[in-house]
């Protein structure tokens, strides 16, 4: 009885230790099935009991392993599957690709946001950080800003989906349309200026608010629309104020 009892106790301990291993449990149950049977049942009963126990243990372990594997696979698919694991984003919500947005919206990848339109023109965006408007609405980028590096040294973004120094609008610190100021190129002759630095080299003098080829300070003369120093129209007042205020220029001298 002492030897038999010891074997039974040893088998029970081994079963408890290997409960996490399906193969190990099957093997162990098969080896000791005969000894776990009733003393009077005989070797055949022990063999059958061992086989049945091993079979049942294998089924249970396989069932549990299958559930665990299925559960983990489902979680992985949910996290990794994108479209399958999470609902598509709505208007203004983050996205990584077109498939990540709901119907009637597209993923604007430079902004990583679901937008109502493609929003692909220069100096427009679909995020509040770039436009100041609600995310999901395609709008012009804030004046002078260039978050997507589209304008280089052209003054940042301006109007009409163009960079500020090429947008056909006098904006920012420009003294005339798309020229002058501290950012855009200097102005050509006759263009409005505040200082000589606003004017191009060949018309480098700012005279009476216009870029001119010279100081042009002769009586009855002024810079024309091309920056040349010419007579004012007959009958006009003298911009250089050489003539009395009540006397019109008559072009009688040079």
* Other CB atoms within 10 Å distance of the CB of residue 104: 9
Give yes or no: residues 54 and 94 share one domain. no
232 pLDDT band (50/70/90 cuts)? confident
Residue 239 within any structural domain of the chain? yes
pLDDT at 25: 36
Range of the domain at 167: 88-172
Extract the tokens encoding 188.
Answer: 């050509």
> Bigger pLDDT: 34 or 95?
95
Give yes or no: residues 7 and 71 share one domain. yes
Give yes or no: residues 187 and 225 share one domain. yes
Give yes or no: residues 249 and 195 share one domain. yes
Residues 14-38, mean pLDDT to the nearest whole number: 40
85 pLDDT band (50/70/90 cuts)? low
pLDDT at 67: 42
Q: What are the backbone angles phi and psi of residue 79, rounded to the nearest 5°?
A: -75, -40
Residue 188 within any structural domain of the chain? yes
Distance CA 190, CA 197 (A): 14
Q: What are the backbone angles phi and psi of residue 36, rounded to the nearest 5°?
A: -80, -15
Give yes or no: residues 75 and 101 share one domain. no
The SS3 of residue 51 is: helix
Give yes or no: residues 115 and 72 share one domain. no
Instruction: Let me know how long the chain is.
Output: 254
Which residues are CB-neighbours of 190 under 8 A, at least 6 positions away? 203, 210, 211, 212, 223, 224, 225, 226, 227
pLDDT at 21: 43
Give yes or no: residues 133 and 195 share one domain. no
Query: Quick one: CA torsion of 219, 220, 224, 229, rounded to 10 degrees?
Result: -30
For 14-18, 105-109, 118-122, which range has the lowest pLDDT when averaged over its residues?
14-18
Distance CA 113, CA 105 (A): 10
> Tens digits of per-residue pLDDT, 165-211?
999 999 999 999 999 998 999 999 999 999 999 999 999 999 989 99
Extract the tokens encoding 128.
Answer: 């509040």
Residue 110 within any structural domain of the chain? yes
pLDDT at 196: 97
Distance CA 40, CA 59 (A): 28
Domain stops at, among 107, 139, 172? 172
Residue 167 within any structural domain of the chain? yes
Give yes or no: residues 49 and 116 share one domain. no
pLDDT at 136: 94
Residues 241-251, mean pLDDT to the nearest whole number: 66
What's the CA angle centered on 215, arms 212 and 219, to 5 degrees?
Answer: 110
Give yes or no: residues 189 and 244 share one domain. yes
Residue 214 within any structural domain of the chain? yes
Give yes or no: residues 46 and 9 share one domain. yes
Residue 177 within any structural domain of the chain? no
Give yes or no: residues 202 and 131 share one domain. no
Number of domains, the chain:
3
Domain stops at, among 139, 172, 205? 172
The SS3 of residue 76 is: helix
Specify the pTM.
Answer: 0.56
Residue 94 within any structural domain of the chain? yes
Domain stops at, among 55, 80, 105? 80
For 34-48, 99-113, 211-225, which range has the lowest pLDDT when averaged over its residues?
34-48
DSSP class of 147: T
4 pLDDT band (50/70/90 cuts)? very low
Distance CA 113, CA 128 (A): 10
Ramachandran quadrant class, 24 (left: phi over 0; alpha: psi -120 to 50; beta: rest):
alpha
Give yes or no: residues 162 and 109 share one domain. yes
């Amino acid at each position: 009885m002492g030897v038999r009892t010891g074997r039974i106790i040893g088998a029970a301990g081994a079963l408890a230790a290997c409960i996490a291993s399906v193969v190990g449990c099957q093997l162990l149950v098969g080896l000791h099935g005969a000894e776990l049977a009733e003393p009077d049942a005989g070797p055949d009963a022990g063999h059958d009991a061992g086989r049945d126990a091993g079979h049942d243990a294998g089924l249970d372990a396989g069932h549990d392993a299958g559930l665990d594997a299925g559960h983990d696979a489902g979680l992985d698919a949910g996290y990794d599957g994108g479209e399958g694991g999470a609902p598509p984003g709505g208007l203004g919500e983050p996205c990584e690709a077109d498939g990540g947005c709901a119907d009637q919206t597209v993923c604007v990848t430079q902004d990583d946001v679901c937008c109502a339109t493609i929003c692909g023109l220069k100096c427009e965006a679909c995020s509040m950080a770039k436009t100041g408007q609600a995310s999901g609405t395609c709008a012009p980028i804030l004046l002078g800003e260039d978050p997507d590096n589209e304008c280089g040294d052209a003054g940042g973004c301006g109007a009409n989906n163009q960079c500020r120094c090429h947008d056909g609008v006098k904006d920012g610190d420009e003294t005339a349309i798309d020229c002058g100021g501290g950012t855009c190129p200097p102005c050509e002759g006759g263009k409005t200026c505040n200082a000589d630095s606003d004017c191009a080299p060949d018309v480098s003098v700012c005279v009476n608010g216009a870029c001119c080829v010279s100081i042009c300070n002769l009586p009855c003369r002024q810079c024309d629309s091309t920056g040349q120093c010419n007579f004012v129209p007959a009958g006009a007042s003298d911009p250089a104020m050489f003539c009395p205020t009540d006397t019109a220029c008559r072009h009688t001298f040079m």
